[in-house]
Amino acid sequence: MSFIKNKLNLGVFAGFTAFIAFSFALDYQIGQDMANNFLIFAEDMVKILPPAFILIGLFEVWVKRETVEANFGQASGFARYIWSVLLAATTVGGTFVAFPVGNSLYQKGAGYNSIFAYVTFASLVMIPMSIIEASILGLEFTLLRIGLSIPLVVTGAHLLGQYFSAINYQLPEDV
């Protein structure tokens, strides 16, 4: 199965590369714009991901399992959501970084509801994004959006966490 998936991914990449090449050869503007957007996105990822993965590696080494279990585990109560918001607000890189951090939290004993809350909050409450949003749309809008989002995320994460715990879900070992 893995071989077929890799072959399919290679085929999609080859098709994309051929489309871009033909777009430049035939002066097709949409294809050229796609190539430029892809390069901008790839450049951003090259700038963000290596430092983020270094920080995740340091987190893996420096933060003890007991600390994660105490603050994000099943026995941490409502405080787990506060810690999830605080961690997510300081996460740079959005969901590209949030998913590996969420996996690291899981490996160190965080509950599903904490992980769901963290990953969702990482898209909602990033400090740099919120500052820019407040400067463009106004502080009232930003506070209203965050104020309405937090209870919804906490409720959704709690319900999903209960469901995953009830069915004894376990992530595959190779994740």
pTM, two decimal places: 0.77
Judge contact between 75 and 66, C-beta under 8 A: no
Positions of the chain with pLDDT lower than 50, given as ranges: none
Query: What pLDDT, on a 0 to 100 scale, did the predictor assign at position 174?
Result: 66
| C-alpha to C-alpha distances, 46 to 34, 43, 175, nearest whole angstrom | 18, 5, 22
Query: What pLDDT, on a 0 to 100 scale, did the predictor assign at position 175?
Result: 61
Cα separation, 86 vs 161, in Å, equals 19
Residue 68, CB-side half-sphere exposure with 13 Å CA sphere:
23
Phi-psi region of 93 (alpha: psi -120 to 50; beta: other; left: phi over 0): left
pLDDT tens for residues 17-34?
A: 999 999 999 999 999 999
Name the maximum alpha-carbon separation found in the chain.
62
Judge contact between 111 and 80, C-beta under 8 A: yes
Judge contact between 109 and 73, C-beta under 8 A: yes
